[in-house]
Chain A
């Protein structure tokens, strides 16, 4: 029987027994309760009725008494007594009815006793009412004595009897009630007894059931535990089975446990298999990983193949192995043996295999693994030091990449290849395919890179060659252009010269006569006697013998000096050509006017005196004490003019008058009272080799060269000569000479430019580049600067002035602006500006900003702008360049550096 059923049965029966007992008891108790309630009610009602009768009797007695005693009869008393009598009769009726119907009476079987007593009471009452009537009649008749007698004798007995019977009735009822109560007690006792029985019997039944049940349960449980304890911890196979008899829950448990044991055994078996697979897989993965790692970073086939074959062969349990890779570098139809395992010299493995050739070739061409489980005799032998043997099995596997065989591997084993080995090989080879491809790509890329490097180099070398050729061509081109330009210039010059020549042919023919004459005179033969004359005159002047008087010595001196003059004249004439070609040296220096006067007087007074004419030197008061000029040249001019004047003056005077024309110019006039020059000849006198009259030479002598030289020299000194004359009235030659400390004329000859020493304002550094300064004025460079428009932007006028002076010296056109804004305006008005010198530190709009603004204008993107910076930090210069300046120069400006810079940036 199942445990549940047992439990239901046991506890169910117990419950049923208890319920029955309890129900019976409840019914009993209920009945007792009802009866008690009824009896109590009856009793109360009966007693109340009895009391009422008593009371009515008492009140009728009282009325009678009063009547009897008082003797006043009236009808009212009568009716009142009747009423009471009626009441009593009714009450008796109720009492009797109650007694008959009462439950107690039903319980107490003999009703007759009650009925009897009530009947008796009624009889008594009837007698009393009759008496009462008699009394009333007597009273009404006025017979009080009778009435009172009746009342006190007869009535008293009757009343006594009636009270007696009342008490008897009450007693009877009490007696009967008590009888009922005792019957109740009986019932309650029975009920109590029943409760005891119930409790005891329930207890016994329950105890018996529990005992039986627990014993039964324990037995089965112990059996089960025992069986389960028999299973060792961790045991997974050969588990014991449980055997439980009967057909209860324990049997079910046992069955379940048995099933579980079976499942565990099954699971253990699967697990074991799984573990084995896992282990194999792990080994496989490890091997594959190891081989993958091995081939990492290898960049050539040799290393890779030898590394791999040395690893794979033992892993696959093989004893011999060869590694073939497609010969990518050579013939891609061939496979080359790159490495072997246990290779014996020359024996196993062919060095090169063509696709389709032999088993390997077959394997490659089909892209399929070939296994030879049986190796024929005379196949390769696996050898060791002790001997050699045939392999048991051979495997040839292709190495693929994207479906194409890139290599193959051949392995030989003494055993058979297992499934695992095969899997290993398959996986490894798949990876190797990728590696081989990688190395191949690497080699290709390396090759390409090298090629590209070579190409780059080649390109660079070609570019350089081209550049150098271009350079050559350019220089050749320039040369040609230069030559072209030169020849054009020359042609032009020739043209000019030609016209000049033609123009001058007339004059030339006129003057050539004098020239040839003169040149004849100036021959070597002329100079030789002059030299001996000079030597002799000097000897005489020294008067070594002391036989000459003073006058004679003076004459000798005059001879010597005149001779010297003559020699000087000759030299001057030779210099004339130099002057004309602009190659005469001018040596500027200070000349004191009083010195000049002394010189003139000492030079000419003797001659004038000799000729008997008056020589006067007048110095104006306003003239400076000294002027800045070439003393030698000036003296030469004056010499010429004065000697001419003296020469052509027969009588009268020759006056040298020196006075200032203005601050800059001095006028030196030589005024004579000589023969003068006719108006039409005046233009001739300054021509070389000519005198006013061809015949004059015969009379006055002279070469006719003096005035032309003087004219040239005067120009050289920055002055000129004017003449005022009339025939026969004397003439006035006036030399206008600049006083100037600074010679402002534009010197066309290089020496002149070099000789000027400038006063440098503070901006400009003094240059000790005398020779270089000369050099920069070479024709080519001069052209570069000539007429170029330079804009100077500087707020300091002294700087502007200094720079302007320096730049204008080279014919540059200088514009200036005081600030950045102005510079932009000027630039807009003069778009042909070639270069800007930009001071950086300016108020309002500084140099950086200005440069920035200028560079914003597209047309001035390339305009050279040279920033003038204070000698400061490198940062400032970088700022200039960043702002867009082409270059920079630091203050104080070195003139040479400035010229160089301007040349560099003006150079096209």
Chain B
């Protein structure tokens, strides 16, 4: 490691420590390369020479912290993203859920809510939505506000429609939305009925309930091993015995300490079932 890299590491450490101590957001265990890239991005955008400069802005410029935080929250999502996940969920997990009198689902890192509403549509079509409550959480409150509105861009609906079909949708997808003004579509309001949006920080917060399903897709990829283990621990504590854990297409519990606690229920779609 060269001197520069050492210095960079030190500065990043100081910056993140500062953010944590001052604002309570803990990014210290995010994947290091990810941190480097995001910080470099922000520096470029703000035309800053050093990380210390960024630190000054973060600590002293009011409101800057929000921009800083949003840098670490990558809100890439789509409705019925990875349709095979939703198809597997519909075909294999739903029959199990049907047996429960009440279903609690935690969607951690829900971002702008597309996947949460997808789940709502899926459960609605399976006749389970009335007895379901989905807790959708994310780190950023402004993102949650966006998610609550259930309004999405018109041009994305084509892709969403295709995903919906591939995910085994049983109705016409157009039944769930209506074009509102300015090239946006609004989802049917009843889809939001049983969704609770709440801020939750996977890094610092504790379990919020016991759930039948925990979905956390494409969040772990931003964390380092230590944090991944911690978050998996949190999910494990939050899962009902026999409950399901759904991860992103590139995430896995293999090679973690939690592997043995789960049955590889639908390994290709990354759905695992808690067995211990």
Contacts and interface: CB of A to CB of B under 8 A. Distances in A.
Contacts of B41: 469
A889 B175 CA distance: 8
B250 A459 contact: yes
A542 interface: no
A904 B161 contact: yes
A457 B179 contact: no
A877 interface: yes
A73 interface: no
A546 interface: no
A797 to B, nearest CB: 24
A676 to B, nearest CB: 51
Interface stretch (B90-98, B114-122, B165-173): B165-173
B138 to A, nearest CB: 14
Nearest to B162: A886
Nearest to B177: A900
Interface stretch (A14-22, A460-468, A703-711): A460-468
A14 B221 CA distance: 120
A464 B248 CA distance: 12
B179 A900 contact: yes
B154 A464 contact: no
Interface string A417-461: 000000000000000000000000000001001100110111111
B244 to A, nearest CB: 21
Contacts of B225: 454
Interface in B174-200: 174-175, 177-183, 185
B74 A468 contact: yes
B75 interface: yes
A888 B178 CA distance: 15
Contacts of B185: 900, 904
B181 A775 contact: yes
B101 to A, nearest CB: 27
B154 A903 contact: yes
A778 B158 CA distance: 21
Contacts of B173: 887
Contacts of B211: none
B174 A901 contact: yes
A468 B41 CA distance: 13
A53 B171 CA distance: 160
Given A778-B181, A907-B183, A900 B255 contact: no
B178 A887 contact: no
A886 B159 CA distance: 10
B31 interface: yes
Contacts, number: 111
Interface string A745-777: 000000000000000000000000100100110
Contacts of A518: none
B172 A877 contact: yes
Given A458-B33, A471-B76, A780-B182, A904 B255 contact: no
A904 B221 contact: no
Contacts of B16: none
B258 interface: no
B181 A781 contact: yes
A453 B218 CA distance: 13
Nearest to B77: A464
A465 B34 CA distance: 9
A770 to B, nearest CB: 14
A219 interface: no
Nearest to B38: A465
Interface string A335-377: 0000000000000000000000000000000000000000000
A874 interface: yes
Contacts of A886: 158, 161
A766 to B, nearest CB: 16
Contact of B161 (A454, A460, A780, A887): A887
Contacts of A262: none
Contact of B155 (A450, A887, A888, A908): A908
A292 interface: no
B252 interface: yes
B172 A905 contact: no
B174 A464 contact: no
Contacts of B183: 780-781, 784, 907
Given A458-B33, A465-B74, A888 B172 contact: yes
A586 interface: no
Interface in A859-908: 874, 877-878, 881, 886-890, 896-897, 899-901, 903-905, 907-908
Given A456-B250, A465-B37, A468-B76, A904 B172 contact: no
Interface in B120-164: 154-155, 157-158, 161
A900 B174 contact: yes
B251 interface: yes
Interface in A448-496: 449-450, 453-454, 456-462, 464-465, 467-469, 471
Contacts of A904: 154, 157-158, 161, 174, 179, 185
Contact of B174 (A460, A461, A897): A897
A133 B56 CA distance: 208
Contact of A461 (B31, B182, B249): B31
Contacts of A897: 172, 174-175, 178
Given A457-B251, A458-B221, A468-B75, A889 B180 contact: no
Contacts of A446: 255
A775 B161 contact: no
Q: Which of B161, B175, B250 has the most CB atoms of chain A within a 10 A radius of its CB?
A: B250
Nearest to A465: B74
Q: What are the 9 tightest A-B residue pairs by CB atom distance, in nearest-first order?
A: A460-B250, A900-B179, A457-B221, A904-B157, A778-B181, A461-B221, A464-B76, A874-B170, A903-B179
24 contacts: A449-B254, A453-B252, A453-B254, A458-B31, A458-B33, A460-B249, A460-B251, A461-B34, A461-B221, A467-B76, A468-B75, A769-B178, A775-B180, A775-B181, A874-B171, A877-B170, A877-B172, A881-B165, A886-B161, A900-B185, A903-B179, A904-B154, A904-B185, A908-B155
